[in-house]
Structure 1
Amino acid sequence: MGGDLDAGWVATIRRRLLAWFATEKRDLPWRADRDPYRILVSEMMLVQTTVAAVVPFFERFVGVFPDFEALAGAEEERVVKAWEGLGYYRRARQLHAAAKAVVAEHGGRMPEDPAAVLALPGVGRYMAGAILSQAFDRPEPILEANSQRVLARLLAWTEDLATTSSKKRLWDAAARLVPPEQAGDFNQAMMELGALICSPRSPRCLFCPVAAECEARRLGIQDQIPRTRPKPAPTAVLEACVVAVREGRVLMVRRSGPGLWAGFWEFPTIHREGGDPAARSFGDPVDLADGVERLTGVRVEVAGQVQSITYGVTRYRVRLDAYAATVGGGRGRRKPLPGKGLSEAAWVDPASFGELTLAAAGRRLVAAIIDEPEAWGLARP
C-alpha cells in the first residue's frame, strides 16, 4: 500500500501539516474564534477570490451584520450594498438566504448536522465541510482549488482535475486524511499550504513540510500537476451607455430582479455586439439615443465618446463605451419596462453616487465623472 491507503503516510501528513500550520498560519479575522457565522461569511466571500482581497470586505460586512439575526433581518439591497466591490453578487444573496434559513429553521444557531448544513442556500459539499470542521471540529473533508492541488501532487495524480473520476479520487483521499481531532486546523492547513507553498506554478518544495511524502516531487513532475483542460476564450461583447445630464443631475436606471445585477443602478446601457450577459438588448439593432429612450422614456442628444471601460463578467469580456449626452425631452419612467430588466429611471445628484449600489463598471465610470466632471457636462463642485 502507499499514499492515502498507508496509515503511516496518513499519520505523517497529519502530524507535519498541523505542526506547520501552528507556526505559519496567517492571522485572518475569521480565524479569531470558531464562530460559524463568521466562517460562513468568509467562505462565501472566498469563492474565486483571494484572501488578501477578501479581508477588508469581510471586516466591513461583519461590522454591519455581526450575526445571523442581523443579516437575516436586513433588506437585500443593504446586503448587496455591503458586499459591493467583491463581485459574485449571487453569493451575497445566497448568504442572505442562508442566514434567514438559520434563523427561521434553527433558532439563529448554525446546525451541526451535515445534512442540515448542506441544505442551506449556497452551501455545497466543500463549504459544509469547512464550516463543520472549523466551527465544530467534526472530521469532515474539504476539497477546493488549493487543497485539491496539494492532494494531486502528494498522490502524483495526473488526470484532468475536472473529471468525475478525479473529483472522486481526491475527495476519497481528503476523507482519509482529515483527522478525528483538529479537523478544522488540518483542513485549513491543506488550503494554507496550497496558497503559500504549493502554488499553481513553481511550487516552493524546499519549504514544504510534507515534501518528503510527495509522490509528484519524488517523480520530478510537480510542475506538471495539476492537469486541467484549458478554459475557452471569453466571448467579446460591445456595450454603449450615456451619461445624460439635466440641471446638474445624471440619468440612472435601476435593474429589476431576478438577474445578474438585480437591484443595481447603472447608466442607461444598450448592447451593440456579441452576447448579452445582462439582457439589455432589444432583439433588433437600435442606435444609442433610441435605446436610451426605450429604456427610460427620455430623449437624449448624444455627444462624443468620453470613456471606454473593459471588464469581465462570467464568460464574457465586455467593452463599455461611455458617451456624454444632454436631454432632448421626455421624462424618466418609474414603472417596469417589460423584457428590458429595468425597474425605474431617476435623475441622480452626483453627490449621491456613493449611496447607490453599482457594479464594477459603474463604479469606474462614476470615478471618471467625479475626477473630470466638465468632460461630461457637469460643473466641478
Structure 2
Amino acid sequence: MGPDGDAGWLASVRSRLLAWFEEEKRDLPWRADRDPYRILVSEMMLVQTTVAAVVPFFQRFLREFPDVQALARADEERVLKAWEGLGYYRRARQLHAAAKAVVELHGGRIPDDPTAVRALPGVGRYMAGAILSQAFDRPEPIVEANSRRVLARLLAWNEDVGTAASQERLWDAAARLVPPSGAGEFNQAMMELGALICTPRSPRCMFCPVSQLCEGRRLGIQEQLPKATAKAPPTAVVEACAVVADGPRVLVVRRAGPGLWAGFWEFPTIHREGPDPASRSFGMPVELADGVERLTGVRVQVGDLVKSLNYGVTRYRVRLDAFAGRRAKGKSEVAPGPGMSEVSWVKADSLHALTFSAASRRLIAAVAAAPSAWGVEPS
C-alpha cells in the first residue's frame, strides 16, 4: 500500500489542497452554482479540450439552451450548430441524447443516484463522479488527465497509467482521498492543481500545496511521471473538394447518417489517398469532377487548386486540397449521391447559417476573403 493507506496523509492532502483551491481557483462559468445541467454541459465540452477554449462555447451554448428541457426539445441540427467549432461532435450528440433521457426518464431533473447518472448517454465513470460530487456533494471519486497526473506523482506510481491495473490503482487512491463532504470542491481542486501547478512538463513544485506529501517529488522522479505508452502517429489521408460556383452561389452537400459528420454540410469531397475515415470513397479511384457529379448529380468543370489545408480527425491527419470549379454547360439536376442526404446551391455569403466542420469553415473564410479566386460572383 502506498501513502494513501495512511489516514493522516489523506487528511493532510485534503486540507492543504482545499485551502489552496479556496484561494487560487479560477472563476469559471460552470462554477457559478451547483446546477447539474451546467456541470453536465461543461464536462461534455471539456473532453480533450482546454478550459480556455471551452468557456466561450459554454456561454454560447447555455444562451441557446438554458436548461435541460430546452436542449431536449431542440432538433439535432440546431444542437450541432450551437456546438460548431468545438469539435468532438459525438459529444454534442451524446449530450443531446442525455438531455432527452433526463426529460423522458427523470422528469427533467438530472438524478443524484449513481446508477441512474451512469446510465445517461455519454456519461462514464469520470463524468458521473464529476456530476455527483460537484452538484450533489456525493463522495464520488474522479480520475481524468489532470487528476491522474497528480495522483501518479503523489503516489510515485511508476507503471504505465494506461493499463487496467494502473487505472484501478489510481481510482482506488482517488476514492480514498475524496472526503465525505466537500467532495466536489476537492475533486475540482485535484483537477485545478494538475492544470495550473502539477503540469505535464516542468511541474511547479515550489508552489504546490502538497509538495511535502508527494512521493514522486521526494524520490526526485516527478518529471518522469506519469508513465504512458507513446501514441501511434496519426495516419495520413489526402482528400480533394471542389468549390463549385454558379454566379453568387456555391454547391454544398449534407451528410446522411450515421457517422462522424452526419448532418453536416460540406463542399463535395472525394477521398484520394490513405484510409478513408469518413467513408467518402466509391470503391475505386475517381476524378474530382466525376466524384462531384456522383455526390450531387451536377456536372462540373474543375479548375485550379486554390488552397490546401491540414486538419486532424480522430487518429487521422488529413490534407484537403480545395479546387475552384464551375457548373458545366448543359442540363443537370441536383440529386444526393452515396452518403448524402441533401444537395443545395447556396449563396456564398449565406453559408455561415449552415453547420460545417472546422475545416470547411476555414474554406468558407477563404472564399469570403477572395471570392474571385474561386469564381464566385457578387450577390
Q: Give the structure-1-normalised TM-score.
A: 0.98
Counterpart for residue 349 of structure 1? 347
CA distance in 1 between counterparts of 2:148 and 2:133 reads 17
Provide the alpha-carbon RMSD of the alignment: 0.9
User: SS of 2:356's equivalent?
Assistant: coil
User: SS of 1:321's equivalent?
Assistant: strand
Aligned CA distance change for structure 1 residues 139 and 332 (closer, same or farther; 3 Å): farther
Deviation at 1:331, TM superposition (A): 3.2
Instruction: Give the gaps of 5 or more residues in structure 2.
Output: none
**Cα displacement string for residues 302-323 of structure 1 (whole angstroms, at most 9, x for unaligned residues):** 1110000100000100000000
- Once the two structures are superposed, the pairs formed by residues 157-306 of structure 1 within 5 Å of their partners are 157-306=157-306
User: Does the 8 A contact of 2:247 with 2:377 survive in 1?
Assistant: no
CA distance in 2 between counterparts of 1:373 and 1:248 reads 9
User: Does the 8 A contact of 1:332 with 1:345 survive in 2?
Assistant: no
CA distance in 1 between counterparts of 2:331 and 2:285 reads 22
Counterpart for residue 54 of structure 1? 54
- Once the two structures are superposed, the pairs formed by residues 11-22 of structure 1 within 5 Å of their partners are 11-22=11-22
Counterpart for residue 331 of structure 1? 332
Counterpart for residue 364 of structure 2? 366
User: Does the 8 A contact of 2:349 with 2:368 survive in 1?
Assistant: no
Counterpart for residue 33 of structure 1? 33
CA distance in 2 between counterparts of 1:232 and 1:39 reads 32
What is the one-letter code of the residue matched to 2:173? A
User: SS of 1:232's equivalent?
Assistant: coil
Deviation at 1:351, TM superposition (A): 1.8
Instruction: Give the gaps of 5 or more residues in structure 1.
Output: none
What is the one-letter code of the residue matched to 1:361? A
Counterpart for residue 92 of structure 2? 92
Q: Does residue 378 of structure 1 match 2:379?
A: no
What is the one-letter code of the residue matched to 1:376? W
Deviation at 1:380, TM superposition (A): 4.6
User: Does the 8 A contact of 1:254 with 1:343 survive in 2?
Assistant: yes
CA distance in 2 between counterparts of 1:331 and 1:247 reads 16
How many residue pairs align between the two structures?
378
What is the one-letter code of the residue matched to 2:246? R
Counterpart for residue 317 of structure 1? 317
Counterpart for residue 44 of structure 1? 44
CA distance in 2 between counterparts of 1:319 and 1:2 reads 48
User: Does the 8 A contact of 1:114 with 1:132 survive in 2?
Assistant: yes
What is the one-letter code of the residue matched to 2:332? R
Counterpart for residue 144 of structure 1? 144
Deviation at 1:122, TM superposition (A): 0.2
What is the one-letter code of the residue matched to 1:333? V
CA distance in 2 between counterparts of 1:8 and 1:111 reads 34
Deviation at 1:2, TM superposition (A): 4.7
User: Does the 8 A contact of 1:332 with 1:346 survive in 2?
Assistant: no
Deviation at 1:34, TM superposition (A): 0.1
User: Does the 8 A contact of 1:334 with 1:343 survive in 2?
Assistant: no
CA distance in 1 between counterparts of 2:98 and 2:152 reads 32
CA distance in 1 between counterparts of 2:335 and 2:117 reads 41
CA distance in 2 between counterparts of 1:107 and 1:322 reads 48
Deviation at 1:247, TM superposition (A): 2.4
Q: Give the structure-2-normalised TM-score.
A: 0.98
Deviation at 1:379, TM superposition (A): 2.9
User: Does the 8 A contact of 2:297 with 2:335 survive in 1?
Assistant: no
Percent pairwise identity: 72
